[in-house]
A and B are shown apart, each in its own frame.
Chain A
Amino acid sequence: DTEVTQTPKHLVMGMTNKKSLKCEQHMGHRAMYWYKQKAKKPPELMFVYSYEKLSINESVPSRFSPECPNSSLLNLHLHALQPEDSALYLCASSQGGRTDRNQPQHFGDGTRLSIL
């Protein structure tokens, strides 16, 4: 019953490859997030999109490039990653936008990324 769908579930790539992670939600949410999570650690915020515009970039290296083609889709383009980038990459969404109350974030199942 996951409302945020991420593909692929697993990805193994070499340090010279280019790949993309995809995230989709159909809850009408206007804020979407990328997180990186290492085992038994909290999610680390990478990027936030609000109304399809990048609103937060937490000083993420340029080898990670986010893209928000429309309000339902969020991509994360990967290029020249390092072994330390191996982690679970989580996408989340929330109602976001022009509201006076913080809203819960709903997470996808994540993409488990391994860099060889």
Chain B
Amino acid sequence: GENVEQHPSTLSVQEGDSAVIKCTYSDSASNYFPWYKQELGKRPQLIIDIRSNVGEKKDQRIAVTLNKTAKHFSLHITETQPEDSAVYFCAASNINTGNQFYFGTGTSLTVIP
């Protein structure tokens, strides 16, 4: 089955700096990679996703890159703000296993004002 590893587990950055979270996956058939943000006591919210037919996707301050050959993908947050503080989860899935998501272990991001 699929195994998704996520690093780092905790990350602290100064407000305005960039944050990068990295995930690796094991199943070369995985072709869909969403990222979720979960604030304390709230639901996971989809913030960006990428499919295997593209290498990069950007949405304002958030971008995701995918390297299919190396089987890793990364979340980039630029100009971080205190409201970016949350736990971020990456996930991988492929059509062969239905829409089952395999989540990474999470990164707790703290943006220091």
Contact = CB atoms under 8 A, between A and B. Distances in A.
Interface of A: 2, 31, 40-43, 45, 48, 50, 55-56, 90, 94, 96, 100-110
Interface residues of B, number: 25
A102 B93 contact: yes
Contact of A96 (B36, B99, B106): B99
B89 interface: yes
B32 A101 contact: yes
A50 B99 CA distance: 10
B39 to A, nearest CB: 11
B106 A42 contact: yes
A104 B106 contact: no
B43 A94 contact: no
Interface stretch (B13-21, B45-53, B58-66, B75-83): B45-53
Contact of B99 (A31, A42, A43, A108): A31
29 contacts: A2-B43, A40-B87, A40-B106, A40-B108, A41-B105, A42-B89, A42-B103, A45-B100, A50-B98, A55-B98, A56-B100, A90-B44, A96-B98, A96-B99, A101-B32, A101-B95, A102-B31, A102-B32, A102-B93, A102-B95, A102-B99, A103-B99, A104-B34, A104-B49, A105-B101, A107-B43, A107-B45, A109-B42, A109-B43
